[in-house]
Amino acid sequence: MLKLLLATTNQGKIREIKEVLKDIPLEIITLNDLNINIGVEENGKTFEENAIIKTKIIGKRTGYITLGEDSGLEVDALNGRPGIYSARYCEGTDKDRNDKLLRELKGTAKDKRTARYRAVVAVYDPNKKTINTFEGMSEGFIIEKPIGTNGFCYDPIFYNLDLKKTNAEISLSEKNKVSHRGRALEKCKEYLKSLS
């Protein structure tokens, strides 16, 4: 069976990706499975550039067809921040990042707290030297205090307009149906099926 390497060590992302792609006839492997650690500097200016950078570097180094993803939260009142810096918006934990974002939005009216999660999935085939990208978005707004314990990153403060609750209040399968990453992966599925 053809192997597909995930270019991430983020366990939350790995769980979500494996869940969406579980019916694809590919063996999904991770960097941990290969016992390798490839540091990649994500110095692109967009989610797409960062997804391509990490996917190509890891795919070239390992020789495996590689799926990488870059995603983040864009808050309109903050001119799109944290954007591509979502995972490294400040030192510390997800809670620290949520707290920083909520401090920056303190006093901002609900109708001005609009936001979206954006994801770009990239697949690199080192044999054909091809790269394909797929984008997904999920619209919502930032609530004033965290609700829910599921998910990761900004999920407890992101109210998902499709679900009428935060991403942290829903199951993984519910989230994957309407999340930015789930939508990008759904677009990617047909391409992955053509590889197997």
Give the gyration radius of the chain's Cα atoms: 17
Q: Please give the Cα distance from 2 to 27 (Å, whole number).
A: 6
Residue 164 contacts by C-beta under 8 Å, 6 or more apart in sequence?
Answer: none
How many residues in total does the chain contain?
196
**Which residue is associated with the tokens 């994801």?**
119
Q: What is the DSSP letter of 87?
A: G
Q: Which of 70, 94, 99, 111 is catalytic?
A: 70
70 has catalytic annotation: yes
Catalytic residue numbers, as ranges: 70
